[in-house]
Every structure is written in structure tokens, then in C-alpha cells.
Chains A and B, each alone.
Chain A
Amino acid sequence: MKNKGLIIAGLVVFFIIALTPWWWNLVTGTKAKAPEPKLTAKAEAAKNCVESKDFMKKEHMQLLDQWREEVVRQERRTYVNTEGKSFDMSLTNTCLDCHSNKAEFCDSCHNYTSVRPYCFDCHNIPKEAN
């Protein structure tokens, strides 16, 4: 270990450079703005989605995955939520009927987290289709 000093110095320089974005945010106090998905009047009036807001925030992807499996493969197309209310399990006709502002609602978060679901390659967005 005769180059100990050099190695440590090199590592320090490396970490400073590699972590610049982090330092930058720390020093300047800038934070990436978290998205604020907008609700449509209809969604606002409904208060709850098919499940609670909290559940939907965390699990809408699992829920949709379950829906697609059930609808296509198991032929079960009605969702009865925890409060006993029934919904037609359809991305376009149920989800997007309420959240008809896809760009302001779905996309705002998806873009922020750089998630690109390809659901809409096939599933129609009512507004865009007409």
C-alpha cells in the first residue's frame, strides 16, 4: 500500500464528482418539484376512486394488473370494492371516464417518475380517440 495517499485522494475526488447533483441540491436548496396530479370535477365529486386514495396511490398498478388478468383470462369483469360498490373493470371506460384528463392526472406522475406504461398503446383514451 505505498500509494495509499494517492488512492484515498483519488477516491475523495471521485465521490465529490459523482455526487455533484446531490451536493448541488443540498447547497442550493433546490428540490425537484413533486407532481400535483389534477382531478377532474367528476373525480372530485366522487371523492373516492374504486378504493381509497391511499390504496390507489400505492397499488393502482397491482389493481390494474389483477383486473387485466381477471377480465381477459377469468372472465370476471365486475369489481366489488371494500364498500360493496360495483364497477365495470375497464381501463378506458371506468378509470379514464372519471380521470378523463390523462395528461394532467396520469401523465404528470408517470413523467415525473419516468415510468412509461404502454397500456395506452392499445387502450383508448376517450378524448383523443374522438
Chain B
Amino acid sequence: MDNSRRTFLKIAGIAAAGLTAAPAVTSLASSASPSKGGKVVRNPEALTAKHWGMVIDTRKLTTSADLEPIIEACHRIHNVPTFEDDLMMPQLPCRMAETESLKQSCEKVNEKIPKISSDKKRHEIKWIWEEEFHNLFPDQLNPYLTEHLEHLPFLTLCNHCANPSCVQACPTKATFQREDGIVLMDFHRCIGCRFCMAACPYGSRSFNFRDPRQGLKEINTAFPTRMKGVVEKCNFCAERLSKGQMPACVEASNGTILFGDLNDPESEVRKALKENYAVRRQPSLGTEPSVYYIL
């Protein structure tokens, strides 16, 4: 009896080793396989820089009406949702419904879920938005600000910091920094832990509490939407740069927002910074923002 138990364990052991080795061997074989397809290359027309940066000329952007088309352009092409009413209770995830009729009845239930409209801002998603001086530069201790700055609407967005605290905080590397300085999000990898939101001192990130598609009147099919439970923010229009286009806000700004290579002394942004007094948001924090404001 003893003897046969021994042989049994031996065989079982060999079999187990074989079973564990097999997937490893096949995965080794298949991990190489997509490359036996074609190869991937950069778009030849893509715009490149050593370190992308932005200069916002606040002297020329003086009213909310000036900012509006810029914000609209960004939010429209990136499918950034606007929710007209706030939800009291969470909705059912109807997209998971297996059949069309199930999906329809699920949506009917969702329609009945009570909504409140008191606080539209609670679920707000923003990539670029308007803010007042005190919120933008909280460490400016002067309580007697010039009339002009006190009432000036400022455009604000992710600063694409050279030393981004959000990247350091993200446990999944969903938030990462490209070599050209752009702080990007890989939405596929975001687990919605919101560490990055806590780490960003500028409040540049939004969390999708709701399915963003519910807040979109029209979807731009050229750019994906996000899903519930994912953080998002401005991406410096990485998808446009790769096609040789300038960011959408820059295009909509009629020259009041400049975009270019901060490492190149001959670039438009550097020239503007040479000639004008510009500030960055909370430079003392050491995040090294790449967005400059000409005052």
C-alpha cells in the first residue's frame, strides 16, 4: 500500500509539473506571436517636442465669454459629459444586459430612479474650466488684489507638471509621464482608487461617478468615452498632436493660448515667456507645472 501511494504521488507530481509548465511554454510561444504580424510605427506627421508646454495670455482672455468656446471645443471633442441633474440613487448597469429586451426594461427602470437637480457640480467632469484668481494662486497672500485680477476669469487645466505628484501616487501606473512631458492617463488601467486626485494639488482630475455617456448629447466617435469608476483629465490633446494638429483649446483660442516646446529657446512659447511676465500655479510645491500664465 505504502509503495503504491509513493508511485501515485510521483506520477501526480510529474503530471502537476507538466500541467503548470504547459501554459508557460505556450504563453512564451504566443507572447511572441503578435509581432509575427506587422510592425508598429509612429505617425510620420506627429508633432514632437522635448517638453510640451502652454502659455495662456490672460490679458487677452478677459471675460467668461472669451473662455467659453475654448472650453466647449475641448469638452466636445473629448466626450466630456455635462449632467443636467444629479442622481439620488445609483443606476443599474444596463450595458451588461444580455439581450436587447432586457436592456430596454433595465433602461426603463433607470428612468424611474428619482433625480435631484440641486447640485449639478457634484458629478462634474472637467478637463479645462474657469476659475478665479484666489483659487488658482492660493499662496498669493496679498489680500488687496488689483481690481483687474480680482475679477478676471482664468482658464485652468492639468498643468502637465514636470514633476507630477499624481504619477507618483498612482499604484497601477495608469497615470504616467511621457518622455515629451505630457502626463497621460491609460484609462484601461485606472482602477478608480483616486489616489491621484488626492495627490494633485490643483484639482485637475475628475472622477466618473456616473456613466459618462448619460451626460453626452452627442458622441464624438473619433475619441472614446470613459466608463463609470475611472478618473480623467486633460491629455494635452495627445491624440491630435500625433496627427500633426495643435491642441483643440489652442486652435479655438485665436492665438491667446500658445503651445510648444519649452526646451527649445526658439519656440513660440519660449519667445512669449522671454518678453512677458508669467507665473505658474503654486510653484513652491515643486511639481514644476508646464502651464504658464501671462498676467
A positions within 8 Å CB-CB of B: 50-51, 55, 59, 62-63, 65-68, 70, 72-82, 89, 92-93, 116, 118, 121-124, 126, 129-130
Q: Is the pair B224, A124 in contact by a Cβ cutoff of 8 Å?
A: yes
Pairs across A and B, CB under 8 Å, 19 listed: A51-B38, A62-B30, A66-B34, A68-B188, A73-B186, A74-B40, A75-B42, A75-B238, A77-B242, A78-B40, A79-B39, A79-B40, A80-B39, A81-B37, A82-B37, A93-B222, A118-B227, A121-B95, A130-B219
A59 touches B33 (CB 8 A): yes
Dominant SS among interface residues on chain B:
loop
**Quick check: A72 and B178 within 8 Å, CB to CB?**
no
- Nearest to B222 among chain A residues (CB) is A93
Give the distance in Å from the alpha carbon of A123 to the alpha carbon of B188 in the complex.
11
Contact surface of B with A, Cβ cutoff 8 Å = 30, 33-34, 37-44, 46, 95-96, 176, 178, 184, 186-188, 219, 221-222, 224-227, 238, 242
Known A59-B34, A72-B184, A73-B176; judge A92-B40 contact (CB<8 A).
Answer: no
The 8 closest A-B pairs by CB, nearest first: A81-B38, A129-B219, A121-B227, A122-B224, A76-B40, A62-B34, A66-B34, A124-B221
- Docked Cα-Cα span, A88 to B43, in Å, equals 9
Which chain B positions have C-beta within 8 A of A118? 227
When distances are taken between beta carbons in the complex, the residues of chain A under 8 Å from B46 are 75, 77
CB distance from B137 to the nearest CB of A (A): 33
Distance between Cα atoms of A55 and B37 in the complex (Å): 8
Residues in chain B near residue A62, CB distance under 8 A: 30, 33-34
Interface core residue of B38, B184, B219, B226 (most chain A CB under 10 Å) = B38
